[in-house]
Amino acid sequence: MALVKINKDITKGIFEKVAEEAEKRKEVTILGIESSCDETAAAVVVNGRKVLSNVIYSQVPVHTLYGGVVPEIASRAHVEKINQVIRKALEDSGKTMDDIDAVAVTYGPGLVGPLLVGVNAAKALAYAEKKPLVAVNHIEGHISANYIDKEELVPPFMCLVASGGHSHIVRVDDYGKYTIIGRTHDDAAGEAFDKVARAIGLGYPGGPKVDALAKEGDPHAIDFPRAKVGESSYDFSFSGLKSAVLNYLNGCEMKGIEVNKADVAASFQQAVIDVLTEHTVKAAKEYDCSRLALAGGVAANSGLREAMKQAAEKEGISFYMPELIYCTDNAAMIASAGYYEYLAGNRADISLNAIPNLKVGERRW
Ligand code: KG4
Ligand code: ZN
């Protein structure tokens, strides 16, 4: 089957086309499906902003036993749950497949086995129900989580996306149009949280556990490095910080000093927050963005949310962040991103495949 890609009117910006299309069709209901890592999720969202249902089956308890996500186990768990999760999302929304305008699914980036489960479920459903299929980039989904319940947020805006696999500063130029301003040179921010959590014996998933423990510690107790990559760069590096934490822990062990884990958690977290906040606000200012948003699993971090809000306010920049449930992996964000892809005329078909290394702004279907 030939790929259908309708987006040929280059005389108009995507924003204008989206607005025109949205005007023509008052209500567009999208079923979103997400399975890129260890959450099996489905959601029904109207016009990209109003969530009718948001079902998430988390595999965390399964992977906790192994201290991290085991791809093969994740794939199998997705296969077991995906149909139930989709059915529940439709039930909770009070809609049936007849009411759904399109099926949107994450096709990358992520783990190939888990991605394939969602992609195949979406293809089967779209084909059987004769509905358009929309392919969504997971990271763009995280960014779009900011649209949920916020009618006032429109592009352009600057967005920090920090998750377990990615850390980027992205300028959202328009719906579905992105420019990467900065990125990590090594570990993602969430990955650093997970590794440090493991080193201080907190287990998986690390981010929320470090966040909770940091509240009991002193963020200035240990002076961990704030790595800079280049002079005027917006890029990050977290592997040096992670090594500094490991060296500190080894040093304490060798000297027989008892480690104050809460101080380590708080000081490490503060170092991450300082770098992310400074670079993102600087990017917003220098690129003249009056709006700034936060996205990805690390956007659930209480310290980062507060620091970013304060830093943006100080500069007179409007600040947005998703509700906690829309920060970590979910399908409402996929349905939201899918809505704008749908309005732009982007359609995938039965040949859609999983693209584990898909980049922000890339279209590979
Ligand atoms: O976006 P996400 O759910 O999955 C990926 O796309 O990777 O992000 C998961 C990451 C994990 O590394 C997790 O430790 C981190 O987000 N995370 C947090 C918090 N909640 C989740 N990191 C810091 N503080 C949190 N509260
Ligand atoms: Zn994610």
Within 6 A (CB) of ligand 1 lie 37, 142, 163-165, 190, 193-194, 205-208, 211, 296-298, 300-301, 328-329
In which band, very low, low, confident or very high, does the pLDDT at 205 lie, cut at 50, 70 and 90? confident
Residues with Cβ < 8 Å from 146, sequence gap 6 or more? 153, 159, 293, 294, 295, 320, 321, 322
Radius of gyration of the chain (CA): 21
Asked if residues 272 and 297 have their Cβ atoms less than 8 Å apart, the reply is: no
Interval between CA 163 and ligand 1 midpoint (Å): 5
Once rounded to an integer, what is the mean pLDDT over residues 268-287? Answer: 97
Specify whether the backbone of 201 is left (phi greater than 0), alpha (psi in -120 to 50) or beta.
Answer: left
Nearest CA to ligand 1 atom 18: 207
Indicate whether 339 pLDDT > 50.
yes
Using the atom order of ligand 1, give the atom closest to the CA of residue 139: 6
Choose which residue among 193, 321, 334 to substitute to test ligand 1 binding: the one with the highest number of ligand atoms within 8 A of its C-beta. 193
- Judged by its nearest atom, the ligand closest to the C-alpha of residue 331 is 2
Residues with Cβ < 8 Å from 238, sequence gap 6 or more? 167, 184, 186, 187, 188, 189, 191, 192, 227, 272
Residues with Cβ < 8 Å from 98, sequence gap 6 or more? none
- For the sheet containing 39-46, what is the strand order? 50-58, 39-46, 29-34, 102-108, 133-137
With 0-12 CB in 10 A as exposed, 13-18 as middle and 19+ as buried, what is 301? Answer: buried
- Give the tens place of pLDDT for each residue, 5-35: 444 455 567 777 777 766 666 899 999 999 9
Interval between CA 164 and ligand 1 midpoint (Å): 5
pTM assigned to the model: 0.93
Token pair listed for 312: 């943006």
Nearest CA to ligand 1 atom 7: 164
Choose which residue among 69, 328, 358 to substitute to test ligand 1 binding: the one with the highest number of ligand atoms within 8 A of its C-beta. 328
Nearest CA to ligand 1 atom 23: 207
In which band, very low, low, confident or very high, does the pLDDT at 276 lie, cut at 50, 70 and 90? very high
Interval between CA 253 and ligand 2 midpoint (Å): 35
- The length of the chain is 365
Interval between CA 296 and ligand 1 midpoint (Å): 7
- Judged by its nearest atom, the ligand closest to the C-alpha of residue 190 is 1
Interval between CA 8 and ligand 1 midpoint (Å): 37
Matching residue, tokens 């423990």: 213
Alpha helices in the chain (DSSP H): 14-24, 60-64, 71-93, 112-129, 138-144, 189-199, 206-214, 239-255, 261-286, 302-314, 332-343
Interval between CA 329 and ligand 2 midpoint (Å): 5
pLDDT > 70 fraction of the chain, expressed in percent and rounded: 95
Interval between CA 69 and ligand 2 midpoint (Å): 13
Asked if residues 108 and 115 have their Cβ atoms less than 8 Å apart, the reply is: yes
Once rounded to an integer, what is the mean pLDDT over residues 123-139? Answer: 98
Q: Compute φ and ψ for 90, nearest 5 degrees.
A: -65, -45
Asked if residues 111 and 34 have their Cβ atoms less than 8 Å apart, the reply is: no
Alpha helices in 299-363 (DSSP H): 302-314, 332-343
Half-sphere exposure of 75 (CA within 13 A, CB side): 13
Using the atom order of ligand 1, give the atom closest to the CA of residue 302: 26
Residues with Cβ < 8 Å from 10, sequence gap 6 or more? none
In which band, very low, low, confident or very high, does the pLDDT at 211 lie, cut at 50, 70 and 90? very high
